Amino acid sequence: MLPPRFDYLAPRSLDEALEFLDGHGDDAKVLAGGQSLIPVLKLRFASPAWLVDINRIPGLDEIAEQDGHLRVGALVRHRDAERSPVLRERYPTMAEAAPQVSDPLVRNLGTVCGSLAHADPSGDWGAVMLAMDADLVARSKSGTRTIAARDFFDGPFTTALRPDELLVEARVPARPGTGGAYLKLERKVGDFATAAVAVRVTMSDGRIGEAGIGLTAVGPNNLKATEAEAALAGADPSDEAFREAAELAARAASPSTDMRGSAEYKRNIVRVFTERGLRRSVAMAIADGGA
């Protein structure tokens, strides 16, 4: 099954890529890992005139802490995230999510930023970035724009990115005393989530200082459970607080009934996973010195 015809450009520098997107952004798609884009082309859901392959641009594959945040470059693959000691030690929500993305072969090519830019409502990284309150950095010929994850997703496969922009980096705040979890229900390895919940808890003086909750596959895009987050801010880490937040997260979900389950079932998964995720995240945050 061949993709439709397109012209192909493999720029050797970011400037070259941005220059091209400036003139051809409307007719071009950016190829990073290609694990969503190539199937989309093969299934004729898109037929761009140009493919801009960024894989030969040096310096985009970094995953490193700098100035109080973690930078995840445009070519960081799911596999890199899965194997990153920094994520394992300090960004547990991300470390738990990485090995649950698709299957090992797809993870060898697919990228974190590509998944965000593709913005599949069933994508895992969107929910994670919403829970982490990450910033997404978009570059174009005319400059750099930082978009909060909560302002990034705009419906199924739709983001705040302009056609001339490239998502060059996800920027995740470094927060000591943080615990996190990513709970995902899938029918089999490689299937899209039936539903999943990303949780992040930062403790402060024995209380929950800040919590982030992102939802996967239960709405038109990855959702941020803001009411649940607000209820948790400053709360005692009690079973009651967890239960209340879980109810609010379930209410924030707007799942559809499909072959993977009924709306009611998926909403209940969100409730159960949020409660479990909070319990685990708080214990982890306390162990991390956040109490």
Partner 1 sequence: MQVTVNVNGTSQTADVEPRLLLVHLLRERLGLTGTHIGCDTTSCGACTVLVDGVPIKSCTYLAVQADGRSVRTVEGLVEGGKPSPLQAAFKQEHGLQCGFCTPGMLLAAEALLADNPDPTEEQVRWALSGNLCRCTGYMNIVKAVQAAGAAMRSAAGVAEAETAEAPAMAGGAQ
Residues in contact with partner 1 by CB under 8 A are: 1-8, 10, 31, 34-35, 38-39, 41-43, 51, 53, 55, 102-106, 108-109, 189-190
Report how far residue 139's alpha carbon sits from residue 119's, in angstroms, rounded to the nearest whole number: 18
Output the smallest distance, CB 81 to partner 1, in A.
Answer: 15
Give 99 or 173: the residue with its C-beta nearer to partner 1: 99
- Using DSSP bridges, classify how beta strands 166-173 and 135-140 pair: parallel, antiparallel or unpaired: antiparallel
Helix, strand, or coil here: 218? coil
Whether the Cβ atoms of residue 61 and residue 73 lie closer than 8 Å to each other: yes
Give 85 or 143: the residue with its C-beta nearer to partner 1: 85
Report how far residue 237's alpha carbon sits from residue 242's, in angstroms, rounded to the nearest whole number: 7
Output the smallest distance, CB 203 to partner 1, in A.
Answer: 32
Give 2 or 259: the residue with its C-beta nearer to partner 1: 2
Q: Which two tokens stand for residue 291?
A: 């109490």
Give 52 or 232: the residue with its C-beta nearer to partner 1: 52
Output the smallest distance, CB 79 to partner 1, in A.
Answer: 8
Query: Closest by alpha carbon to 183, among 96, 87, 81?
Result: 96
122 backbone dihedrals φ, ψ, rounded to 5°? -95, 5
Give 1 or 259: the residue with its C-beta nearer to partner 1: 1
Computed over its alpha carbons, how large is the radius of gyration of the chain?
A: 19
Report how far residue 193's alpha carbon sits from residue 166's, in angstroms, rounded to the nearest whole number: 27
Output the smallest distance, CB 22 to partner 1, in A.
Answer: 21
Output the smallest distance, CB 193 to partner 1, in A.
Answer: 16
Report how far residue 114's alpha carbon sits from residue 91's, in angstroms, rounded to the nearest whole number: 20
Q: Which two tokens stand for residue 132?
A: 């982490």
Give 77 or 279: the residue with its C-beta nearer to partner 1: 77
Whether the Cβ atoms of residue 235 and residue 207 lie closer than 8 Å to each other: yes
Output the smallest distance, CB 86 to partner 1, in A.
Answer: 20
Report how far residue 84's alpha carbon sits from residue 248's, in angstroms, rounded to the nearest whole number: 33
Give the CA diameter of the chain.
59
Output the smallest distance, CB 278 to partner 1, in A.
Answer: 27
Give 81 or 231: the residue with its C-beta nearer to partner 1: 81
